[in-house]
């Protein structure tokens, strides 16, 4: 299992944006090189076949353009993972979740069944395709939805029709809403709107801890689910509430509370909330309100202060700094320092932070922040998704190791820095601060250029829209607005400038940490040759 997710409601974020973010982590023992691309309508398949499950899906005829972060090696399929489409809808898929035996007994996963024997011979049994999964979700959903709520509905319908072979959590956002969907067994699902004033932490564990079934099966104001979920719960005795007045808890009903969760999952939620709510409760010691192994860490909570992009990057890069569990720290001992799975782990593939800003015109409203490789040693930089192409430094990732693309350059830097953590930490921190500052300046300068191009947009401080939206439009109007060719050229040029600056600074960091680590080699001898 892999990945860590954080979702930030618009009233919890520093600027009123909705923010969804997720580390994509590869399986233990392997790397998965990633690319940042734009998928144009004529590049989107009309008939889709999964590499892993062999399921085949006919797709609608008019897809929207969207960004994605697919695998560089397509041997296991696309794995698009994270992107923003032309309707300014963002999607992140998926956070692998845990479940329990009762759920799997009631609604088993839909797994690929290979053919038995040879066709035409006695006893031959043809292959039975499996369901849809992380490989497929972004490609099957994001090009066809115009709101976050529509994203939930489309994915839910696909899950009911085709099933899935794994438990997954999927995030959707638009300028106004964030929705979080969790699969339940092979064909069932639940989804909950993230409260505007709250953030959500998700560490590979079914997370929603309170769910209004009446709303989900009725008005669907804050909750949605598969049509027969109520019957499914009752028929299989999944509701573990002691009293009828207790809210339904999906985490108890559908999730897990295993010993491995306390090593792999719950400590990550504990640390993220410890950082974002330091004054809200006691986090450390025997008298802590929540221990790293607690099963009742809230799914959503209001932060002590507004959350920034830098906060998101920090928690998703965490290795338990300031605690005995930090593998690079001096607190604790060798046992405690390797007790829990870090959030910022060696096998990170990519991080996408998708920000939808109500105070900017539709064409430059969305920003997709990107990082590649192990988060403690990389940087997060912004790119505008509503463009016709992405910079080659992030797009042209090879399957061989090279310092000429952003993915592999970060991999090399991380390996060098890990070996000399204390000696290289300052250089990494300076790199992160400098490139982050460049990113914010790039956004501000580009916003000014776009403001001169786009007419009919209210001043951000004078808008009458209750959500602070300076250009409120219906979804079809949003699509038309973001297809402004002149504006797209400005955004593409800004992306190229950002990529060029990023490469220059990343090259400098590689040079610095290579020198530092080389000086620490065990065969070093501190006397010059004669």
| Cα–Cα distance measured from residue 191 to residue 513, given in angstroms and rounded to the nearest whole number | 45
For strands 199-202 and 188-193, give the pairing. unpaired
DSSP string, 395-460: H---SS--SSSHHHHHHHHHHHHHHTHHHHHHHHHHHHHHHHHHHHHHHHHHHHHHHHH--S---T
Determine if residue 87 is left, alpha or beta; phi over 0 gives left, psi from -120 to 50 gives alpha, anything else beta.
Answer: alpha
Q: Do 399 and 74 meet the contact criterion of CB atoms below 8 Å apart?
A: no
For residue 91, the surrounding DSSP H or E stretch is: strand 90-96
| Cα–Cα distance measured from residue 294 to residue 289, given in angstroms and rounded to the nearest whole number | 9
* Residue 417: Cβ within 10 Å count: 24
What is the DSSP code (8-state) at residue 248? B
What is the DSSP code (8-state) at residue 509? H
Cα angle for residues 333, 334, 337 (degrees, 5° grid) = 80
Cα angle for residues 186, 343, 259 (degrees, 5° grid) = 60
Q: Do 395 and 36 meet the contact criterion of CB atoms below 8 Å apart?
A: yes
Q: Do 347 and 418 meet the contact criterion of CB atoms below 8 Å apart?
A: no
| Cα–Cα distance measured from residue 231 to residue 355, given in angstroms and rounded to the nearest whole number | 37
Which of the residues 3, 32, 225, 417 is marked catalytic? 3
Q: Do 76 and 51 meet the contact criterion of CB atoms below 8 Å apart?
A: yes
| Tokens coding 297 | 């860490």
Bridge partners (DSSP) of residue 182 are 169, 190
| Tokens coding 283 | 């986090």
| Cα–Cα distance measured from residue 165 to residue 369, given in angstroms and rounded to the nearest whole number | 30
32 has catalytic annotation: no
Helix (H, G, I), strand (E, B) or coil at 383: strand
Q: Do 192 and 298 meet the contact criterion of CB atoms below 8 Å apart?
A: no
What is the DSSP code (8-state) at residue 164? B
**Residue 36, burial from CB neighbour count under 10 angstroms (0-12, 13-18, 19+):** buried
What spatial distance separates the first Cα and last Cα of the chain, rounded to whole Å?
Answer: 55
**What stretches of 266-420 show up as alpha helix (H) in DSSP?**
266-276, 309-316, 392-395, 406-419
Q: What residues are annotated to the active site?
A: 3
């Amino acid at each position: 299992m892999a990945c860590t997710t954080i979702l930030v409601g618009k009233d919890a974020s520093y600027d009123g944006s909705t923010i969804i973010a997720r580390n994509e982590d590869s399986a233990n023992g392997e790397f998965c090189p990633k690319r940042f691309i734009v998928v144009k309508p004529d590049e989107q398949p009309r008939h889709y076949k999964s590499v892993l499950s062999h399921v085949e899906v006919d797709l609608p005829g008019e897809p929207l353009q969207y960004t994605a972060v697919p695998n560089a090696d397509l041997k296991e399929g696309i794995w698009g993972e994270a992107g923003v489409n032309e309707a300014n809808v963002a999607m992140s898929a998926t956070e692998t979740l845990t479940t329990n035996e009762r759920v799997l007994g009631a609604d088993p996963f839909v797994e690929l069944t290979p053919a038995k024997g040879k066709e035409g011979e006695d006893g031959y049994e043809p292959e039975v395709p499996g369901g849809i999964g992380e490989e497929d979700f972004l490609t099957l959903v994001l090009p066809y939805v115009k709101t976050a709520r529509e994203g939930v509905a489309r994915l839910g319908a696909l899950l009911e029709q085709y099933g899935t072979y794994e438990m997954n959590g999927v995030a959707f956002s638009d300028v106004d809403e964030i929705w979080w969907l969790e699969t339940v067994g092979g064909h069932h699902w639940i989804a909950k709107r993230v409260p505007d004033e709250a953030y959500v932490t998700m560490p590979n564990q079914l997370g929603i801890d309170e769910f209004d079934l009446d709303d989900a099966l009725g008005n669907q104001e804050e909750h949605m689910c598969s049509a027969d979920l109520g019957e499914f719960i009752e028929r299989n005795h999944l509701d573990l509430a002691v009293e009828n007045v207790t809210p339904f808890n999906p985490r108890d009903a559908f999730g897990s509370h295993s010993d491995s969760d306390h090593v792999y999952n719950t400590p990550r939620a504990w640390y993220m909330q410890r950082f974002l709510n330091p004054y809200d409760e006691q986090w450390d010691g025997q008298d802590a309100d929540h221990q790293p192994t607690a099963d009742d860490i809230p799914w959503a909570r209001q932060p002590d202060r507004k959350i920034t992009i830098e906060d998101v990057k920090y928690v998703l890069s965490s290795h338990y700094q300031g605690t005995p569990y930090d593998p690079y720290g001096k607190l604790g001992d060798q046992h405690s320092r390797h007790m829990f799975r870090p959030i910022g782990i060696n096998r990170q593939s990519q991080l996408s932070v998708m920000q939808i800003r109500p105070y900017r015109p539709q064409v430059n409203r969305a920003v997709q922040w990107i990082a590649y490789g192990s988060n403690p040693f990389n940087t997060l930089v912004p790119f505008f998704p509503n463009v016709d192409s992405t910079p080659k430094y992030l797009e042209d990732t090879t399957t061989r190791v090279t310092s000429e693309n952003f993915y592999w350059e970060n991999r090399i830097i991380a390996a060098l820095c890990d070996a000399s953590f204390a000696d290289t930490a300052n250089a990494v921190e300076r790199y992160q601060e400098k490139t982050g500052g460049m990113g914010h300046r790039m956004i501000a300068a580009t916003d000014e250029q776009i403001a001169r191009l786009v007419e009919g947009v209210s001043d951000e401080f004078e808008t009458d829209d209750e959500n602070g939206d300076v250009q409120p439009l219906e979804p079809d109007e949003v699509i038309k607005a973001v297809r402004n060719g002149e504006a797209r050229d400005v955004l593409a040029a800004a992306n190229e400038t950002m990529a060029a600056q990023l490469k220059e600074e990343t090259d400098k960091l590689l040079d610095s940490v290579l020198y530092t680590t080389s000086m620490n080699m065990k065969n070093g001898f501190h006397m010059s040759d004669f």
